Copies of this chain bind each other. A is one copy, B any other.
């Protein structure tokens, strides 16, 4: 039997759960599968799950400046094999499915390490995938060794219990949140840092994978109603609980680590429910789109092989397939090469380089304007 960790009243809560009454707004200190197994059938409106990713990291990783990356090396993320991870996934999803209401939905977040296993298991359990959502990280950690693309996103799966289910989707709320445009399946949000990031007494991060509240805010606002019961079987430091409380949803958290529970309990106690009016607005920072010169080349506006020149035709350079320029034996980006040729510390390649067009020179910055005008909004 799980232990209801509410500080007071845990025996009462346990008895209630056994009697089919939900332990609302509480953290259950237990293994998630065992804790879920004690909750009644079809009693939960929405499940948000952030399971271990099974990262399978190798040795230590150092930044170019020599500092070491603080990796996720916790025991809870270690599995012997894909098969063992799959068994774990199937087991907790089966319980999740049992306790979910027929019109409830489930969210699971993961990365390429685990999300394909999780997605397959969700389908195999009979859930019906409604969307996969990409959380595009505004400020991801770079790839320090230059060996791959910067791993700049995580994936969420949103699924109903079955194909025909009548799930909750607050279409208008999402549209309002997105400047009256339909909310898309890619969400650009910063990672959790700064004041929001929970710290231990010694200043170290309290949990290695704390999710931003803005992410949960959007999830719960989109797919639950006020008063709905939201369960998070991998509660950690309680982002789901804090946001649920703010949005006037009921919540249940399951977490094994007393350390995380302590932090979560304090945090949620301090969270203030929002006014009804405040619930519809959540300022999201918008960043102006940066146009890489490469986009102009990829789009075929300025094909590789095109010759560029400066305004006074002192230098000529050719565009290459990767949008770098070369001029005799020198090469580099539009900015770098412009700087090198002039012997300047820096150079705005957009205004420096020109292309012959109808007999006269045209700055490539005008091409950038054209390209921007061609782009659909969003």
CB 8 Å contact bits of A168-191 with B (1 = contact, 0 = none)? 011111101111111111100110
**Chain B hits for A293, CB < 8 A:** 179
A222 to B148 CA separation, bound complex (whole angstroms): 9
Which of A13-21, A42-50, A279-287 forms contacts with chain B? A279-287
A263 at the interface (CB under 8 A from B): no
Q: Please tell me which one of the listed residues B112, B119, B134, B333 contacts residue A179 in the complex, with CB atoms under 8 A apart.
A: B333
Q: For chain A, give the interface size range.
A: 35 or more
Q: Which of A251-272 contact B (CB under 8 A)?
A: none
A124 to B117 CA separation, bound complex (whole angstroms): 10
Q: Which single residue of chain B is at the shortest CB-CB distance from A284?
A: B146
This chain: copies in complex? 2
Asked whether B66 lies within 8 Å of A342 as measured between CB atoms, the reply is yes
A158 to B147 CA separation, bound complex (whole angstroms): 13
Q: Please tell me which one of the listed residues B155, B318, B326, B333 contacts residue A132 in the complex, with CB atoms under 8 A apart.
A: B155
**Chain B hits for A36, CB < 8 A:** none
Q: Please tell me which one of the listed residues B79, B163, B218, B305 contacts residue A274 in the complex, with CB atoms under 8 A apart.
A: B305
A209 at the interface (CB under 8 A from B): no
CB 8 Å contact bits of A108-131 with B (1 = contact, 0 = none)? 000111011111101110100111
**Chain B hits for A126, CB < 8 A:** 79
A201 at the interface (CB under 8 A from B): no
